[in-house]
Amino acid sequence: MRKLYYAALTYLILGLASGVFYREYTKIVGFEQGQYTQLSTLHTHLLMLGFFAMLIVLLLDKAFDLSSTRSFSAFFWTYNAGMAVTITMMVVHGIMAVGGSSSNGMTAGIAGLGHILLTFGLVSLMMSLGGRVKEVTARK
């Protein structure tokens, strides 16, 4: 449970800091307000897919003791690795867009790998949760 709490706290700090970074960085470089860049959605991604997701999993862990399953460990590390790759590529893509550069296939490919890791992490979470739900319902 401590890992989940600290992961949630880390995502909260990163999410809030990314909002400040987006506002200040685009102001400094003179990026026109209203134009789209992935930096503008970074804040939301970190808060929803990071902070709130970890809080929800923390509650599920409390209710079903998910962290004692092997697939939970796979979820935790794979999901967070996927978040790290995806968020890093959002920053890279966003800074390129603000600087006037267009992204290339490599940027999209690496971001895709991050999404694949997120998917494997979510599948592992559902396997862990499904096993625990079966155990709880079998006892009743």
H-helix or E-strand spanning residue 139:
helix 105-139
pLDDT tens for 33-52 read 777 888 999 999 999 999 99
CA distance 40 to 45: 10
CA distance 108 to 66: 33
| Type of residue found at 122 | L
Mean pLDDT of 94-102: 87
78 within 8 A of 122, measured Cβ to Cβ: no
Say what the alpha-carbon torsion angle 125, 13, 112, 75 is, to the nearest 10 degrees. Answer: -20
Please tell me the pTM assigned to this model: 0.91
